[in-house]
């Protein structure tokens, strides 16, 4: 009896845990100077982008990640006009940023032009806004871009999003103190940076190190989380960071905004019809962290928790 061939792709973490996805056609495969790039069809999550075999985004759950990296930081800033995205070559973060009416310029600095081209061709629902005239794509190393921006005097972007890969391969230098210091200098007064900070379940050690660096570099660091079903550990985090020690923290700004700042609350309400994840009830709740994650991010000793062996 013929058994139909079934293909599965999987991502392993902590050397012992594996998430498997039933796959269909391989739509795109390339080996660029930086990484392997694959776009595949999956049975449940639609088309999916993998870099060096690690899941970056899928048609079915990308909205959670992209809404969550973009909108909290954009709302934190009273009038975000100029936005820098480091990484984010799939275009999902740019698409969300462009939903904010005052945005005049989005610089997307992606190291690998092949990622941008492949996503434009095979993931149009994610990359479809990359042709917007407000978007300027720079195919460059984000570390060098940020260093140049800081050296030229900084003070250039209202919001910076670090939409990076994991801290390995080409993304590794995007998790360093010097990179964060340059990012802080590139912000305008009152500006904020948001970055993806991995999973408290799958990347315990890496996450502890990332938050050490962030707390050393920025006066205020507000972590928040959501569930991304296709990512290792599923529980995923971001942080909004600000260099302004006298202002309320990003968490306080957003939480107060929802209850008492009519301008920010109105901005979120006007976005809501276009969003599938974020809303006025969820935004303040996303900053409430489980104790083990909160302890680790604060640099406190954490009793055994997922991800620590
Ligand atoms: N482990 C996956 C981490 C990837 C984070 N960046 C995803 C890019 C989506 N725009």
Position 171 scores a pLDDT of 86
Mutation pick for ligand 1 pocket among 10, 19, 52, 65 (CB with most ligand atoms within 8 Å): 65
Taking CA atoms, 2 is separated from 5, 91, 185, in Å, by 9, 42, 62
Q: How far apart (Å, rounded) are the C-alpha atoms in residues 81 and 305?
A: 41
Position 169 scores a pLDDT of 81
Atom of ligand 1 lying closest to residue 166 CA: 3
What single-letter DSSP state applies at residue 224?
Answer: E
Residues 6+ apart with CB under 8 A from 130: 91, 94, 108, 116, 120, 137
Which pair of structure tokens corresponds to residue 99?
């939903």
Instruction: Determine contact, residues 111/145, Cβ cutoff 8 Å.
Output: no
Per-residue pLDDT 10s for the chain (309 aa) are 566 667 899 999 888 899 899 999 999 999 999 999 999 999 999 999 999 999 999 999 999 999 999 999 999 999 999 999 999 999 999 999 999 999 999 999 999 999 999 999 999 999 999 999 999 999 999 999 999 999 999 999 999 999 999 998 888 899 999 999 999 999 999 999 999 999 999 988 889 999 999 999 999 999 999 999 999 999 999 999 999 999 899 999 998 766 767 888 899 999 999 999 999 999 999 999 999 999 989 988 777 666 554
Instruction: Determine contact, residues 98/135, Cβ cutoff 8 Å.
Output: yes
The verdict on the CB of residue 196 being under 6 Å from ligand 1 is yes
Q: Please give the full DSSP string across 17-33, using - where no structure is assigned.
A: EEEEEEEEEEEEEEE-S
Instruction: Determine contact, residues 306/291, Cβ cutoff 8 Å.
Output: no
Position 4 scores a pLDDT of 64
What single-letter DSSP state applies at residue 152?
Answer: T
Ligand 1 centroid vs 246 CA: distance in angstroms?
32
Ligand 1 centroid vs 124 CA: distance in angstroms?
17
Ligand 1 centroid vs 106 CA: distance in angstroms?
19
Q: 127-162 in b/e burial notation, b at 16+ Cβ within 10 A?
A: bebbeeeebebeeebbbebbbebbeeebebbbbbbb
3-state secondary structure of 174: helix
Q: What angle do CA 202, 223, 96 make, to 5 degrees?
A: 95
Q: What number of other Cβ atoms are within 10 A of residue 116's Cβ?
A: 19
3-state secondary structure of 173: helix
Using CA positions, which residue lies closest to atom 5 of ligand 1? 165
Mutation pick for ligand 1 pocket among 38, 87, 228, 229 (CB with most ligand atoms within 8 Å): 87
Q: What number of other Cβ atoms are within 10 A of residue 223's Cβ?
A: 25
Mutation pick for ligand 1 pocket among 37, 55, 142, 196 (CB with most ligand atoms within 8 Å): 196
Using CA positions, which residue lies closest to atom 10 of ligand 1? 88
Q: How far apart (Å, rounded) are the C-alpha atoms in residues 242 and 186?
A: 12
Q: Please give the backbone phi and psi of residue 211, each rounded to the nearest 5 degrees, phi first.
A: -70, -30
The verdict on the CB of residue 165 being under 6 Å from ligand 1 is yes
Atom of ligand 1 lying closest to residue 62 CA: 9
Which pair of structure tokens corresponds to residue 19?
């998430």
Ligand 1 centroid vs 57 CA: distance in angstroms?
6
Q: How far apart (Å, rounded) are the C-alpha atoms in residues 41 and 49?
A: 9
Which pair of structure tokens corresponds to residue 231?
């990512």
Element (H, E) at 294: helix 291-297
Using CA positions, which residue lies closest to atom 2 of ligand 1? 56
The residues annotated with a catalytic role in the active site are 163
Give me the helix-helix angle, 204-217 and 177-186, nearest 10°. Answer: 40
The verdict on the CB of residue 54 being under 6 Å from ligand 1 is yes
The verdict on the CB of residue 163 being under 6 Å from ligand 1 is yes
Q: Please give the full DSSP string across 129-172, using - where no structure is assigned.
A: TTTSTTEEEEES-HHHHHHHHHHTT---EEEEEEE---SSGGGG
């Amino acid at each position: 009896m013929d058994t139909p061939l079934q293909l599965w792709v999987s991502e392993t973490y902590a050397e012992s845990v594996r998430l498997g996805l039933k796959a269909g056609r391989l739509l795109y495969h390339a080996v660029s100077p930086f990484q392997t790039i694959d776009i595949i069809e999956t049975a449940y999550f639609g088309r999916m982008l993998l870099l060096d075999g690690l899941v970056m985004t899928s048609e079915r759950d990308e909205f959670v990640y992209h809404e969550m990296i973009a909108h909290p930081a954009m709302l934190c800033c009273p009038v975000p006009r100029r936005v820098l995205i480091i990484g984010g070559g799939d275009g999902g973060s740019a698409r969300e940023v462009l939903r904010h009416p005052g945005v005049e310029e989005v610089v997307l600095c992606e190291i690998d032009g092949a990622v941008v081209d492949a996503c434009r061709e095979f993931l149009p629902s994610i990359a479809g806004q990359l042709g917007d005239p407000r978007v300027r794509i720079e195919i460059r190393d984000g570390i060098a871009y940020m260093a140049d921006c800081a050296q030229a005097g900084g003070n250039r972007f209202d919001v910076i999003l670090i939409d990076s890969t994991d801290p390995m391969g080409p993304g590794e230098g995007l998790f360093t103190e010097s990179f964060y210091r340059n990012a802080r200098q590139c912000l305008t007064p009152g500006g904020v940076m948001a970055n993806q900070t991995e999973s408290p379940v799958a990347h315990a050690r890496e996450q502890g190190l990332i938050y050490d660096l962030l707390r050393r570099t920025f006066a205020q660091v507000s972590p928040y989380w959501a569930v991304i079903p296709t990512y290792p550990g599923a529980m995923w985090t971001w942080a909004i960071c600000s260099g302004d020690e006298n202002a309320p923290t990003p968490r306080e700004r957003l939480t107060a905004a929802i209850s008492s700042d009519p301008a920010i609350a109105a901005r979120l309400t006007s976005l809501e019809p276009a969003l599938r994840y974020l809303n006025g009830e969820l935004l303040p709740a996303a900053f409430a962290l489980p104790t083990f994650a909160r302890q680790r991010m604060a640099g406190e000793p954490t009793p055994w928790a997922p991800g620590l062996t």
